[in-house]
Amino acid sequence: MLQFTRWKIIAILLTCLAGFLVAMPNFFSKETVQSWPSFMPKKQLPLGLDLQGGAHLLLEMDQDEIKKDWINNLRDEARKVLREAKIGVTGIGTQGLTQLVIKLAKPDEREAAVKALYKVRQPIGGALLGTGGYDVDVASGSDAGTIIVKESEAGIRQRISNAAAASIETVNRRVNNLGTSESTIVRQGTDRILIQFPGLKDTKELKKLIGETAKLTFHEVHPSMTAEEAKSTTIPAGYKIYPSDKSEGGGDYLLREQPVVQGADLADAQPGFDSRTGEPVINFRFNQAGARRFATFTKDHVGRPFAIVLDDKVLSAPVVREPILGGSGQISGNFTVESTNTLAVQLRSGSLPAKLTIVEERTVGPSLGADSIADGKRAGIIGGIAVVCLTILAYGTFGIFACCGLVVHLMLTLALMTLIGSTLTLPGIAGLVLGVAMAVDANVLIYERIREELRTGKTPVSAIDAGFQRAFVTIADSQLTTLACALIMFWLGAGPIRGFAVTLTIGIITSIFASVTVVRLLISYWLKAQPKGRISTVPV
Amino acid sequence: MLMKFIPVFKGADIFPHDLRLPFMKFKGPALGLSIVAMLVSIALCATFGLNYGVDFKGGSLIELKTKSGNADISALRARLNALGLGNVQIQQFGSPDDVLVRLEEQPGGETAQQAALKKVTESTSADYTERRVEVVGPAVSSELRMTGFIAVAAGILAIVAYVWFRFEWQFAVGAVVALTHDVLLTAGIFALFQFEFDLSTVAALLTILGYSVNDTVVVSDRIRENLRKFKKMELNELLNLSINETLSRTILTGMTALAVLLALYIFGGQVIRNFNLAMLLGVVIGTYSSIFIAAPLLGYLGVKRDWSDMAAKSVAAAKTKAKA
A520: left (phi over 0), alpha (psi -120 to 50) or beta: alpha
* A298 min Cα distance to partner chain B (Å): 40
Cα separation values, A226 from A66, A251, A252, A513, B69, Å:
30, 10, 8, 81, 60
Q: What residues does A150 pair with on adjacent strands?
A: A99, A137
Output the pLDDT for position B149. 87
Backbone angles phi, psi at A5, to 5 degrees: -75, 160
CA–CA dist B175, A280 (Å, integer): 70
Q: Do the chains contact at B203 and A1, CB–CB below 8 Å?
A: no
| Contact list, B199 vs chain A (CB under 8 Å) | 494-497
Backbone CA torsion sign across B279, B280, B285, B290: positive
Q: Which long-range contacts (CB under 8 A, 24 or more apart) does A392-396 make?
A: A392/B11, A393/B11, A393/B12, A394/A444, A394/A447, A394/B11, A394/B12, A394/B13, A394/B14, A394/B252, A395/A443, A395/A447, A395/A540, A395/B11, A396/A539, A396/A540, A396/B8, A396/B9, A396/B10, A396/B11
Q: Do the chains contact at B217 and A474, CB–CB below 8 Å?
A: yes
Instruction: Chunk chain A into consecutive blocks of 10 residues (it has 540) and report each block's average pLDDT, rounded to whole numbers.
Output: 84 94 90 87 87 89 88 86 87 86 87 86 68 80 85 86 90 80 83 88 84 88 86 84 78 87 87 88 90 90 89 87 86 85 86 89 88 88 92 93 94 93 82 82 93 90 91 87 81 73 88 92 87 75
* B69 min Cα distance to partner chain A (Å): 17
* Mean pLDDT, chain B, integer: 87
Output the pLDDT for position A59. 93
> At a CB cut-off of 8 Å and minimum separation 6, what does B91 contact?
B73, B99, B100
Tell me, what DSSP letter sits at residue A281? E
From first to last of its 324 residues, chain B has per-residue pLDDT tens of 577 778 888 888 777 777 788 888 888 898 999 999 999 999 999 999 999 999 899 999 999 999 988 989 999 999 999 998 888 989 888 888 999 999 999 998 888 999 999 999 999 988 998 899 999 999 899 988 888 888 888 888 888 888 898 888 999 999 999 999 999 999 999 999 999 998 888 888 888 888 888 888 899 999 999 998 888 889 999 999 999 999 999 999 999 999 999 998 999 888 888 889 999 999 999 999 988 998 888 888 888 776 665 555 555 566 665 555
Backbone CA torsion sign across B22, B28, B29, B35: positive
| Contact list, B211 vs chain A (CB under 8 Å) | 438, 482
Output the pLDDT for position A522. 92
Strands (E), chain B: 51-52, 59-66, 88-93, 95-103, 128-136, 196-197
Q: What percent of chain A has pLDDT over 90?
A: 22
Q: Do the chains contact at A477 and B166, CB–CB below 8 Å?
A: yes
Q: Do the chains contact at B217 and A396, CB–CB below 8 Å?
A: no
Q: Do the chains contact at B271 and A368, CB–CB below 8 Å?
A: yes
Q: What is the reported pTM?
A: 0.81
Output the pLDDT for position B308. 61
* A325 min Cα distance to partner chain B (Å): 42
| Contact list, A438 vs chain B (CB under 8 Å) | 211, 214, 257
Nearest partner of A309 among A406, A215, A430, A417, judged by Cα: A215
pLDDT, tens digit (0-9, with 9 covering 90-100), for B37-57:
999 999 999 999 999 999 899
Output the pLDDT for position A97. 85
B104: left (phi over 0), alpha (psi -120 to 50) or beta: beta
ipTM for the whole complex: 0.86
